[in-house]
Amino acid sequence: MIVAERKPLAEILEMVKDCKKILVLACRGCVTVCSAGGEREAEILASLVRLGLKKNGCRAEVIEGSLVRQCDKEYIDAIDEWQGQYDAILSTACGVGVNFIANLRPTDNVYPALNTTFFGGSAEQGVWSEQCAGCGNCVLHLTGGLCPVARCAKSLMNGPCGGSVDGHCEINPSVDCVWQMIYDRMGRLDRRQELTAAAPIRDWSTAGHGGPRKRIRDDLTV
Amino acid sequence: MSFTPDIRLFSCHYTSQQSCVGEGRELQELGFPENVRLSRVNCTGKLEEITLLKAFEDGADGVYVVGCPTDSCHNLQGSQRAAKRVEAVRQALGEMDVEPDRIRMYHLPRGLHPEFIDAAREMNQRIQEMGPSPF
Ligand code: SF4
Ligand code: SF4
């Protein structure tokens, strides 16, 4: 899922300080699962925005709504339901959702309530960790399923580096060295021999360095 | 400036038993401030952040939660959960430059105890010193 977290309240209040009718719009997709922007968090945010604006002497009506997802045209169209009831949308979706509203609602003001942080998973209740960076050329078959792009601080393809100490990364001892994990795991899988081949210099053009990426599946287009 | 604050208390059944004695008269007789409005919940672990925020939206000058001691909650971790939600609201108040102490968590013994009255008086005094809600 896409993992995100609420922006500092002061930043959000500054964005919407001149708005008179604000629709706090939740997304029932990824950000619900990572407890950043689902209906529950949007309700809390709407309350905080009402309180914060009132404290700052701003008068605004703040209403709440939600979409199944904000990254899908058919769901964005459902914003029509609140037509006339808002002059700004404060989206609690990830950046994709905010972009989609901006793409598809040419005259709607939209503001991001979240900082979109990474693609990750729920490690335990209340904890999410980064697992994939969407590099467009997956190498997990070479690394026992553990991602060196997202989980190595230097995105090394031939790790570990000299900064790996007792299984920890030199950037911070609380960070596991993913290359140590890869090495240990490949050993357990009896595949350590595969790690002796040096990975070639990588072509990063699939990783977004060639501009925005697009995927088209002809068999699904109409 | 002296004023009578609007204070909301959310308490679990176990720590607020005193409120049931003598149809609530005992609390009054013991000096429980009249401006503290009590809402009893089965367990403070059931309290949502939004409930605490709505109390402020509804005009509360101060809010506090009374749950069981952390190591002996009737529902194991209920009062610890409540404390975390109170902490989340404290942080949000801080982000808005509002005194975080306008909301507090108390862990008190279950049953009939003077601490229940003391907490109400303490909260009342703190909020009186802070003045009316900025919301
Ligand atoms: S808008 Fe973002 S958070 Fe919502 S479902 Fe789509 S990708 Fe996930
Ligand atoms: S190699 Fe690329 S696609 Fe595969 S998990 Fe890592 S970042 Fe994601």
Range(s) of the domain holding residue A37: 2-118
pLDDT of residue A191: 98
Q: Same domain, yes or no, for A10 and A109? A: yes
The answer to whether residue A59 sits within a structural domain is yes
CA A55 to chain CA centroid, Å, is 31
Mean pLDDT across A175-199: 97
pLDDT at B113: 79
- In B, minimum Cα distance to A7 occurs at B95
Size of interface A-B (CB pairs under 8 A): 33
Same domain, A34 and A95: yes
The pTM of the whole model exceeds 0.90: yes
Burial class for B101, CB neighbours closer than 10 Å (0-12, 13-18, 19+): middle
In a domain, A195, yes or no: yes
CB atoms within 10 A of CB A85: 12
Least confident of A62-66, A207-211, A213-217, B128-132: A207-211
Residue A214 within a domain:
no
Look at residues A70, A93, A118 and tell me which one is the last residue of a structural domain: A118
Strands B62-67 and B103-107: parallel
Same domain for A103 and A141? no
> pLDDT tens digit string along A78-126?
999 999 999 999 999 999 999 999 999 999 999 999 999 999 999 899 9
Q: Are residues A109 and A145 in the same domain?
A: no
Min Cα distance B12 → chain A (Å) is 22
pLDDT of amino acid A106: 96
Query: Mean pLDDT in chain A?
Result: 96
pLDDT at position A155: 96
Q: Do A29 and A96 sit in the same domain of this protein?
A: yes
135 residues of chain B, pLDDT tens digit each: 579 999 999 999 888 877 777 777 888 888 899 999 999 999 999 999 999 999 999 999 999 999 999 999 999 999 999 999 999 999 999 999 999 999 999 999 987 778 999 999 999 999 999 999 999
Pocket, ligand 1, Cβ cutoff 6 A = A 2, 27, 29-31, 69-71, 93-94, 96-97
Q: In this complex, do B49 and A9 lie within 8 Å of one another by their Cβ atoms?
A: no
**Residue B121 at interface with chain A, using a CB cutoff of 8 Å:** no
Share of chain A above pLDDT 90, in %: 95
> What's residue B1's pLDDT?
57
HSE-CB at B97 with a 13 A cutoff on CA atoms is: 9
Same domain flag for A8 and A90: yes
Q: Is residue A215 part of a domain?
A: no
* CB–CB contact A47 B50 (8 Å): yes
Number of domains in chain A: 2
Whether the pLDDT of residue A58 is over 60: the answer is yes
The model's pLDDT over A59-77, given as tens digits with 9 standing for 90+, comes to 999 999 999 999 999 999 9
Q: Are residues A33 and A95 in the same domain?
A: yes
Rounded to the nearest angstrom, the distance between the alpha carbon of A37 and the centre of ligand 1 is: 9
Q: In terms of domains, do A6 and A100 share one?
A: yes
Q: Residues A142, A36: one domain?
A: no
Mean pLDDT across the stretch A168-193? 97
Instruction: Give domain status of residue A128, yes or no.
Output: no
Mutate to test the pocket of ligand 1, among A89, A96, A116 (most ligand atoms within 8 A of CB): A96
Q: Which residue, A54, A83, A118, sits at the end of a domain?
A: A118
The answer to ipTM > 0.85 is yes
- In this structure, the answer to whether residues A8 and A48 fall within a common structural domain is yes
Q: CA-CA distance, A135 to A120, in Å (whole number)?
A: 14
In-domain check, residue A112: yes
CB A132 within 8 A of CB A119: yes
Contact A159, A178 (CB under 8 A): yes
Q: Are residues A63 and A157 in the same domain?
A: no
Do A99 and A141 sit in the same domain of this protein? no
Q: Which of A40, A44, A54 sits opposite B135 (nearest CB)?
A: A54
Output the CA A91–ligand 2 centroid distance in Å.
28
CATH of the domain at A63: 3.40.50
DSSP A29-85: SHHHHTTSSSHHHHHHHHHHHHHHHHHTT---EEEEEEES-SSSHHHHGGGGGGTTS
Give the mean model confidence (pLDDT) for residues A20-47: 98
Residues with Cβ within 8 Å of B46's Cβ and at least 6 positions away in sequence, in order, are B78
Are B62 and B102 a contacting pair, CB within 8 Å? yes
Is residue A72 assigned to a domain?
yes
Angstroms from A212 CA to nearest CA on chain B: 35
Could you tell me the two tokens for B11? Answer: 């308490």
Domains plus CATH for chain B? 7-129 (3.40.50)
Judge whether A105 lies within some domain.
Answer: yes
State residue A33 phi and psi, 5-degree precision.
-65, -35
Closest CA to B127 of B80, B93, B82, B87: B93
